[in-house]
Chain A
């Protein structure tokens, strides 16, 4: 199987340096809690938030259904928001917005737990502190100092990520064209064994970029429709009728060859259409989550590869495509919500580790076949692992959204 380097991981070190003055809060705050304004947070005090440990310190208190902060003004530079939830059962989240964009946030600040904090580096201007669910959700927060003249680091990082993802998609589309050509060669030669192997080698390139491919709503069904999805009166084309011939009938007919010729053309068109596309950060986020929809709706059910049973290969490719999209967002997302970013990274690690237990190099596609027996014994475990990943992953779209 052809494999591709995971580009974003290699760049991680360089990007960390870009984060500069941004520090995930809790550790920083360990030594400077509860100094001046405990218990008097009903209305913001006059003046600017005091600076200590290199950051302006703002305390946010959640009580009842109220969200209050002790200072509503701070000097430009790092600002730390320490959030205490004394007894606000309905509140657990605080976020700082610039215009409509989340630039920093902290979740799971639950009543009764220890205070939590987040730190953001702010330039001059007006921001909004948002407490979802509070009686007063938004409080204006003013930063005094020079205004930003360029896009923020976070926005640059996210933009850089979308560019990188565009290249990733192009790489996958190119590899798909190459692998499909190899499949076609084997089919035109009438070599079932070689064609089975080539089929399994081509599939992951499509599955990794499935949300992009699916955005071309007329082309996707011609490449990837399953028999049950074919409209009456429409020809069934693409990978899956070829799969049926290769793995169920195990014979290559004139029709198989014609299907293969068309698949080569369709995949080539897909490459043309995906070349030069640009993406928004939220598209990467929704695509990453969408790939996990795919895993749950067609791979774990065993519907995707009904004849070859290489569903776990597609499963792994969906997860890999999702992880790639996440990795490209990660540098920017880390500046917005480091806790969530780490949680997602941990869940990807767990899913990857689980998938690794199914690897079998002796089987076509490199994973054990997803038989009915395996489905019966393991589907629940696979579903739970994917759901535990998708729950936090589905949260990132609104955090990186550019709208």
Chain B
């Protein structure tokens, strides 16, 4: 911007030197105003009033130019460091394309970011573009590659990729997408593709669901060895969908609370091993997790159903409970994780065994007893949960717990188990289910050019 007369009126100045954009100025932040103001106190009323770089673009004075130059140099130093700082890139890569989506059978990585979106567009074609962009971007992120330039060559270009995962490597990132029942209403013509099994999870006894963590249209589960890599993927997917979908709820998990194939059993925030009896074999995956040819909707064959439950743990009261009661709540010992009827973690629980006092050694309402497949008609689910913390809640308690995620070929498997747990689980004294969602997770994409929901737009 300049005074008319410095140049031909209204004609763009083509000879102007390219000037790096200074993000601090373009934000118009109050702090930068103050700092600049403090550098030139008392000059406001004079003719020498300074004009800082406005609109994030052109410069008004040599002094301002010099200041911008320094900032720009600093910025490029930072980006150079970003590529080399810290540990070497984690090149562990999980293949994105395949028969099943990654992030289900994949042995759980250490970190989770789960994001649930509301689709805001009413246009099927805009939804189609969003899903195609997401699908392509997910493939790139899974390879540790940014989508769009981190540092565009043109001064006035907004970076396509936000950059915080630049140079960090793929970190075994998986991105898993699911559609909620609400996607199959009359908005986009998807009603005829709705699987019969995809219905909202019914209310259970002891539910304490909040609207802030319930429902939504589409979920994306990002898991990675590094939390920043997972967050980067979700952040950028949310960004590229900004005109078509809004973020509804999110949970960041900081530690896996389920074991996959070949993994040792981790612990939940209650200090107990979680997922000792989890599904690990291909036979169990076929029988309990992957939707087979029996599906009423053939597009779901090779897919699965995700149940997401945000479970708040009443940490402080649990921490005040005595150990024998803690054992009775879970039906297992704390350090070894053995069933109370055994001595080692993987001993098979004996739900009929009684002690000298004639009472069951594993109480009938212990968590392990109620959840066990032996007591649920053989039903199993693949658990893939994460511990989370959201700071401190509005009544002063630690806000933390388990982001329960389970995959099954029919949400009814979860419903069967949770119906029993919700009614009589001893654990209910210490937990609250505060969030809930169920999602149809389509099979994996075949190759680049394939995208989630493609068949629905035919």
Contact for B55 among A85, A112, A286, A390, CB less than 8 A: A286
Interchain CB contact under 8 A, B33 and A220: yes
Given A214-B54, A219-B44, A403-B18, A112-B1 contact (CB < 8 Å): no
1/0 per residue A383-403: CB within 8 Å of B?
010011011101101100111
Question: Which segment of A73-81, A276-284, A358-366 sits at the interface?
Answer: A276-284
- Chain A's closest residue to B448 (CB) is A87
Query: What are 16 A-B pairs with beta-carbon distances under 8 A?
Result: A85-B449, A112-B451, A158-B12, A160-B10, A166-B10, A214-B33, A217-B36, A278-B6, A278-B7, A279-B1, A283-B57, A283-B58, A287-B54, A290-B26, A397-B158, A402-B16
Q: What CA separation (Å) do A302 and B67 show in the bound complex? A: 32
Interchain CB contact under 8 A, A391 and B37: no
Q: Is B34 an interface residue (CB 8 A)?
A: yes
- Count of B residues near A, CB < 8 Å? 74
Which residues of chain B come closer than 8 Å to A294, judged between CB atoms? 28
Contact for A395 among B3, B13, B158, CB less than 8 A: B158
The smallest C-beta distance from B427 to any residue of chain A, in angstroms, reads 33
Interchain CB contact under 8 A, A163 and B10: yes
1/0 per residue B37-61: CB within 8 Å of A?
1101101110001111111111010
Q: Which of B405-458 contact A (CB under 8 A)?
A: 447-451, 454
The smallest C-beta distance from B43 to any residue of chain A, in angstroms, reads 5
- Chain B's closest residue to A383 (CB) is B246
Which residues of chain A come closer than 8 Å to B454, judged between CB atoms? 112
Interchain CB contact under 8 A, B26 and A286: yes
State the B residues within 8 Å of A (CB).
Answer: 1-7, 9-14, 16-19, 26-30, 33-34, 36-38, 40-41, 43-45, 49-58, 60, 120, 128-129, 132-133, 135-137, 139-140, 145, 147-149, 152, 154-158, 160, 239, 242-243, 246, 447-451, 454
The smallest C-beta distance from B5 to any residue of chain A, in angstroms, reads 7
The smallest C-beta distance from B452 to any residue of chain A, in angstroms, reads 10
Contact for A159 among B12, B243, B246, B450, CB less than 8 A: B12
Interchain CB contact under 8 A, A112 and B145: no
Interchain CB contact under 8 A, B9 and A278: yes
Interchain CB contact under 8 A, A110 and B3: no
- Chain B's closest residue to A217 (CB) is B52
Q: What CA separation (Å) do A109 and B60 show in the bound complex? A: 39
Interchain CB contact under 8 A, B448 and A111: yes
Given A163-B9, A283-B57, A92-B149 contact (CB < 8 Å): no
Interchain CB contact under 8 A, A231 and B129: no
Give the 8 A-B residue pairs with the shortest CB-CB distance, closest first.
A215-B54, A402-B12, A163-B10, A87-B448, A286-B55, A391-B242, A398-B157, A110-B132
Contact for B136 among A89, A162, A226, A289, CB less than 8 A: A89
Interchain CB contact under 8 A, A90 and B132: no
Which residues of chain A come closer than 8 Å to B157, judged between CB atoms? 397-398
The main secondary structure of chain B at its interface with chain A is: loop
Interchain CB contact under 8 A, A276 and B4: yes
Q: What CA separation (Å) do A294 and B33 show in the bound complex? A: 13
Interchain CB contact under 8 A, B57 and A216: no
Interchain CB contact under 8 A, A282 and B57: yes
- Chain A's closest residue to B145 (CB) is A90
Given A278-B4, A283-B57, A402-B13, A113-B41 contact (CB < 8 Å): no
Interchain CB contact under 8 A, A108 and B54: no
Q: Is A185 an interface residue (CB 8 A)?
A: no
Q: What CA separation (Å) do A214 and B41 show in the bound complex? A: 16
Given A113-B132, A166-B10, A277-B2, A391-B243 contact (CB < 8 Å): yes
1/0 per residue A23-42: CB within 8 Å of B?
00000000000000000000
- Chain A's closest residue to B5 (CB) is A276
Given A132-B149, A286-B26, A222-B5 contact (CB < 8 Å): no
The smallest C-beta distance from A386 to any residue of chain B, in angstroms, reads 10
Q: Is A211 an interface residue (CB 8 A)?
A: yes
- Chain B's closest residue to A65 (CB) is B145
Interchain CB contact under 8 A, A110 and B26: no
The smallest C-beta distance from A342 to any residue of chain B, in angstroms, reads 12
